[in-house]
Structure 1
Amino acid sequence: MPRSSFSDNPLLRVSRPVSACSRCRAAKVKCDGKLPACTACEKAGRENECSSANDQFARGKERSYVAALELRIEKLEKRLAFARSRKASVNLHDMDEAAAPADRKDSLANIRAAIHRKAARKREDADVNALVSDFGYLSVNATTRDFEPTMGNMTFARLVLAAATNDDVPDPAEDSFPTRAEALATIQYYTANIFTLFPFFSETHLLTVLDVVFQQDERAKERLKDADFWLLYMVLAVGYTAQSKTHDDEFYRRGLDFVARALPFADKALMPGYPTQIQSLLLFTQYSMLDPSHFDSWYLIGFASRAVVDLGFHQDPPQLQVPDKVAFDLRRKMFYCVYALDRTISMIRTRSFSFTDDSVNVEYPSPSGPSTTLITGPQSADPALLLFQLRRIQSEWYQTLFQADSGPLPDAASFIWQMCLEMREWNESLPDNLPSGIRELLDLELRYSYVYCLAPSDRSPHLTDYARKLIFEHAIAYMNTVHGVAHGASTAFYTSLDALKVYFVAMQFFAVFNAARELLISDARIVPPITRPGTAPPPPLPHRPVGGEDSVDRSLRCLQQVVETLSRFSERWDIASQLKTTNSTRTTTSSNISFSINSSHRDRLPHIPITISHMHRTRRLSRRNLTLITSHIRPTRHLNISLTHTPRSSWVILQCKSRA
């Protein structure tokens, strides 16, 4: 592989000078080559006379980084002048042809001239594109090389860790490294349940690294890069932690152990300017979503989004500059994985996206499913493409309703019905051969999206009774499914963000119930609102089994599922501190429901616990622990439900009180 010259890739450091400055050379004293003036000239007060890089130094060995950049600019200017002169010569050639006698314009000459002009235009376009890419590369490297390990103690990786670390990671255990069979089983779990949604690296490369690590050949291990070790260890960390059920079980400890093994390779793995930085940050973000007590996913996905923009992955290059189709498709996958995680993390934390859709011009990556056709598109078992499509729809209505101007949106109902229609069409296009766990996860995402899109906002502050009924039905369906996930053996990729989604959906359920409780529990038919011609119709209500529970029973069961699901998730994640971070810019969030229960419903009421979650610190363990205090009450005649979070403290209270 040919090595690039110093002027093509200048290092942000001072190379050893090939000669002393002119003053030290004349005085025959030692010159340390310090810039902008050597020490001898500084002491003598002759800083202005200290020579910089000039003709006495070898070309390409300048002492000054600025001089190297000037040389690079000079080369680019020469290339630009050459491209312009070529364009002028082509134009002159066209003018000469127009002035030529008619008898010379035979068919063969015309064909040759057309071919020549087309080739010249292609060469010119290629030169201009290469020139622009050179300027972009120069800009990125001039800023990001400051974080190379050779420049001092501060590296980009340490900046990332300083911003995103919530708690220190303990040192790895000496005897905790698994066998190759155990590591391979964990990798297979990761690829089957997580990689299928976020395919941002090569599976073949991962297995190659695994084989080399477990070989006895030390020379082969030395050929591995730091990013390779980071890839393997973080995949194992995510794979183990994703199987954890409680905060301190064996899977969690093994995952944390592999994070500790990966961190020594962070300086090179997270170095800016390379695609491996994006892959490393994505793995780091995935782990932080599973272990929020140690790392903050909001900061990590922010760094990943900036890395994507810095490398230009948010814009597809011209087709002429795509020699490797496989690498180009992987580039698109990396972008959309960052896009999907940025959207879901920003939405649940009610924050702005790292970049808007207007700045994005990237086609979807090629489908990888076996049954994909050019007619149906991604109608195969390709969950990643399906997830990317849903994130694009979510991004559109979230930016319009929650990130745009605060003024009311003209005809907000039509816009919301259109977004609901697109999400319903997306759901109807899901293939039948999707794995059951993936289908269940996508169904939860759809229910959550319906509730979020229909919820009141500054641009759509008013809810109709039909919209309240939609939120009511989708929230009950969401809670019924997520309750089974929390208490079942689902292998899909559920994270601490899903606990926040449960809290959000519960808050919306309580809000609409409090606003229209009599209407919602009466099971009366609600007429859909009338829409203007040419606009999307209101979405239909979710299907309910005939002869099932009435709305009172369904509401009580939904309430109990909220309590049990949050209690189960709190055994795995520190929900209280996440809610405190999520709502740090808000006032106290509270929703109360009260409704009368007649004697016929009294015997059906379940035991509903009061759940108080409190986060506190233990100095010896230096970690956040969650204390659950539960007691049981049986409502008698009047049920009062309160779900409260106070940002100034770390308390999250879900209460059910009864009074006669």
Structure 2
Amino acid sequence: MKRKMEEDIPTPTEPPSAKQPRQSMARSVSACVRCRKRKSKCDQKFPSCSRCLAAGVVCMGLDAATKREIPRSYVSHLESRIAALEGKLDDAGIDYSDLDTPAASVPIPKPIQTTGTATTPTTSSTATHEDGKNTAPVADLMENVEKASRASHSSTGQDLSFAKLLLTAVKLRAKTKSDRTTPTTTQTQYEACKTLPSKRDAEKRLSQYFCQANSQIPIFHRELFIKNYFVPIYGPFSPGISLASDYTTVEVDAGEAQPVEQPIITSDTPQIPLYFLFIVFGCATSVHQQLYPAGVSESYHQAAMEHIDSAFASANRLEALQAMLVLCLFSIMRPTVPGVWYTLSMALRLCIDLGLHIETSNNRVTDGFDLDMRRRLFWCTYMLDRQICVYLGRPFGIPEDSIRVPFFSELDDSLIVPRNNVDYSLMTSPGGIKSYKYISLAFARVRQIQAEIQRMMFEFTEIPRRFATFADWFQDVCTRLDEWMDSCPNTNLQTNCGFTTTFFALNYHQSRLLLYGVGPKNPSPSAYSLECVLEASKGIMTKYHSLHQIMSINYTWVAVHNLFIAGTCFLYAVYNSLVSGQQLISREDYETVSKQCVVVLDSLIGRCNAAQVCHDTFELLSAAVFKMCFKGGSVLRKVSKDGLVEVIQNHDKRFSHLGALVEQVPDNWNDDRRKKHQKPVEVPVPDLDDFFKEAQNPPNMEMTASLEEPLPYAYSGEVSPQQEDLYSLMSEVPLGSIWDQYFKEGAGGGPR
């Protein structure tokens, strides 16, 4: 039996009974959209019908005039707002009886000026009938009424919604993008690598892959990979080289194979090992893609594609699944043909065909090695699917309710060998030795949490039965997320390799942003939520900047997408907190964090097509928000010697003797110190005159004009109540180019 979900979306306050609006808005009495689709009887209550209220979703109706979907609560919201405004006018003694005239004859007020802008008032034009009467639409009037309301409640004098600011930045970027020359990865075609690297370079590539990539998504059993793919080409693996084995050894029996320092590809060279080696080399060079020219990874990928048929057609279907998964992993890092969406779809279908998503007495294997390999490959598929779908807001390939398989073993690969009637997942590492799979299991768990957040916050899934209310679930998932972060390994000894643990913090902040940020379930974040959004978004940008400094950003489109979402959420939190009278961040921190985001996005231009769009849009938007919220001014303030003496003496009488010491300091002491130890953070400030002029224009703006090709689910570009959540608007900016480059079947660079 379905239980009522606690409503999380703020409901509009009812208008005071003593003072009703003089002219009420007509309401549609038809059934809501959700009840129509479900063919259920709708009680047509306002502001939400009982069924939508119980499901915890926004009750949507159809506008009688335009036939567009609008929240049924919006009319009540407008009525309440009008009543509140009339009350303020009454308190101020202002007569508004002339507004009782028909709406068609009411002139539209001039747009309210934004503090700090260089715009001039413009009078909105009004349409007329043939008889000369004014026919200004009621919607335009209500828009100006809402602007006036926002201005009256704003301590900063702002009258523009953040969505309007974002759309303005996108539109202006679209107008000027023809003047920018943006090199992209799809403009260059690369030839396939004709030769294999030397044995020394090959072992170096494998070390990078197993430490940074296979530790997150453990597609390969280390010893089995060396035996089946490395030894047939290069011979015995050299001792002393770590493959996520800093504190363990890699021992593989190479038989009679002889070492080959520089292998030569011939017609007799086995095809499957060539595919896996080339694609792994491509992934390894993409792990630190900022250190290598783009052509290096692409050449390895093109060489692998020449041998892909043999790997995909392998008689060992688990091996074929590995071939698909490693190609999917590369596709996340670099644009490929086919796109990652289609590569992942193939892996999902094969995973289900092999029954890896569920273990029963009928399909469970007895060999411990095979059992663990099946579990490992399922969770690799799961992690890739959840990672991509959460970022794109798409339905998951395998529903959570269909999954009945435990995690793979935490044991080091050297301890997992063929053995009957053994379940390695029940064993613990001997002597407390950790393995790289502690990293893998940590990522598997956070993907589960992120998938749960996606379902509850963006898909309105029913709350689990063990929770009485939505608030109980929310508190529980926050606790589980904190516990996950505390349990993540953070030293080489715990992971058996030098994995970059910053990625754990990134996923933590990203999950918190999904929980507290704007979205269908939380269209108007509370003051506390804004603090959490600011903290999470700031954490994401700071962590990406630290990764950029050590040249360790690997997933280019994920980085661009996450940075832009975090950046716009950061600006949203700053903008709306100041509107409510709070200041969550100093001017210095604002400039520093904004600059970090701009720097990282700039470094990704040429690696991901969306980077240029996101870079230009965020740079302009951050400058506009800075001007509106902080009212200009220098970050570095010069402190005078006299001022310092006064501060010291007034702070505490016990320190008054320090004033004499300060008197001996040269007058230019602060200038010298600033030159030596402080470097001003230079935030580019574009010409904002055009920005604020554009922002004051009517809100019907074509956002999709900035995209190469609008998505099927593209935002209409109107700043109106029909936009359920700002998150989809934020996502649209990077995803327009990302979808074309990474997810379409013909996407990607290189020869077709």
Give CA deviations for 1:419-463 in whole Å, capped at 9, x if unaligned: 111100111122453467532111111011101121232234342
Partner of 2:605: 570
The correspondence of residues 122-161 of structure 1 with structure 2, limited to 5 A, is none
Instruction: Give the structure-1-normalised TM-score.
Output: 0.56
CA contact (8 A) 2:517 2:569 kept: yes
Partner of 2:706: 649
Partner of 2:380: 337
In 1: Cα distance, 2:388 partner to 2:588 partner = 33
Partner of 1:237: 282
In 1: Cα distance, 2:378 partner to 2:524 partner = 36
Gaps of 5+ in 2: 1-184, 236-257, 416-426, 616-620, 638-679, 709-731, 735-752
Partner of 1:511: 572
* 1:607 aligned to which of 682, 687, 700: 682
1:419 matched to 2:481? The reply is no
1:609 partner amino acid:
P
Q: Secondary structure at the match of 1:647?
A: helix
Give CA deviations for 1:65-98 in whole Å, capped at 9, x if unaligned: xxxxxxxxxxxxxxxxxxxxxxxxxxxxxxxxxx
Partner of 1:323: 366
TM-aligned CA deviation for residue 307 of structure 1? 1.6
Partner of 1:298: 341
Give CA deviations for 1:524-555 in whole Å, capped at 9, x if unaligned: xxxxxxxxxxxxxxxxxxxxxxxxxx532222
* 2:528 aligned to which of 463, 466, 470: 466
Gaps of 5+ in 1: 1-164, 524-549, 581-588, 611-631, 655-660
CA contact (8 A) 2:278 2:300 kept: yes
Instruction: Give the structure-2-normalised TM-score.
Output: 0.50
* 1:188 aligned to which of 207, 232, 245: 207
CA contact (8 A) 2:328 2:344 kept: yes
Give CA deviations for 1:239-273 in whole Å, capped at 9, x if unaligned: 12323217xx54x3232222222112222322388
The correspondence of residues 67-78 of structure 1 with structure 2, limited to 5 A, is none
In 2: Cα distance, 1:229 partner to 1:645 partner = 49
Partner of 1:476: 538
The correspondence of residues 113-512 of structure 1 with structure 2, limited to 5 A, is 170-174=190-194, 176-208=195-227, 209-214=229-234, 226-245=271-290, 249-250=292-293, 252-271=294-313, 274-292=317-335, 296-318=339-361, 321-368=364-411, 373=428, 382-404=438-460, 412-433=470-491, 434=494, 437-490=499-552, 493-512=554-573
Q: 1:340 to 1:423 in 2, by over 3 A?
A: same
1:557 matched to 2:602? The reply is no
In 1: Cα distance, 2:563 partner to 2:702 partner = 14
In 1: Cα distance, 2:207 partner to 2:279 partner = 14
Identity %: 18
Q: 1:596 to 1:470 in 2, by over 3 A?
A: closer
CA contact (8 A) 2:333 2:554 kept: no
TM-aligned CA deviation for residue 351 of structure 1? 1.4
Partner of 2:103: none
Q: 1:293 to 1:203 in 2, by over 3 A?
A: closer
Give CA deviations for 1:393-424 in whole Å, capped at 9, x if unaligned: 111111122234699x9954443332111100
2:543 partner amino acid:
T
In 1: Cα distance, 2:410 partner to 2:586 partner = 43
Greater mean alpha carbon deviation, residues 210-219 or residues 479-488 = 210-219
CA contact (8 A) 1:230 1:262 kept: yes
Q: 1:516 to 1:595 in 2, by over 3 A?
A: same
TM-aligned CA deviation for residue 570 of structure 1? 1.8
In 2: Cα distance, 1:501 partner to 1:425 partner = 23
Cα RMSD (Å): 4.4
1:511 partner amino acid:
Y
TM-aligned CA deviation for residue 177 of structure 1? 2.9
In 2: Cα distance, 1:201 partner to 1:278 partner = 11
Greater mean alpha carbon deviation, residues 320-329 or residues 355-364 = 320-329
The correspondence of residues 617-656 of structure 1 with structure 2, limited to 5 A, is 646-650=703-707
In 1: Cα distance, 2:502 partner to 2:234 partner = 36
Structure number with higher strand proportion:
1
1:465 partner amino acid:
A
1:184 partner amino acid:
E
Give CA deviations for 1:146-185 in whole Å, capped at 9, x if unaligned: xxxxxxxxxxxxxxxxxxx9889643254x5311111111
CA contact (8 A) 1:200 1:334 kept: yes
2:704 partner amino acid:
P
In 2: Cα distance, 1:411 partner to 1:554 partner = 38
In 2: Cα distance, 1:601 partner to 1:520 partner = 22
In 1: Cα distance, 2:449 partner to 2:573 partner = 24
2:684 partner amino acid:
P
Partner of 1:114: none
Q: 1:439 to 1:171 in 2, by over 3 A?
A: closer
TM-aligned CA deviation for residue 332 of structure 1? 0.8
1:595 matched to 2:628? The reply is yes
Give CA deviations for 1:314-350 in whole Å, capped at 9, x if unaligned: 1123288422111111111111111111111111112
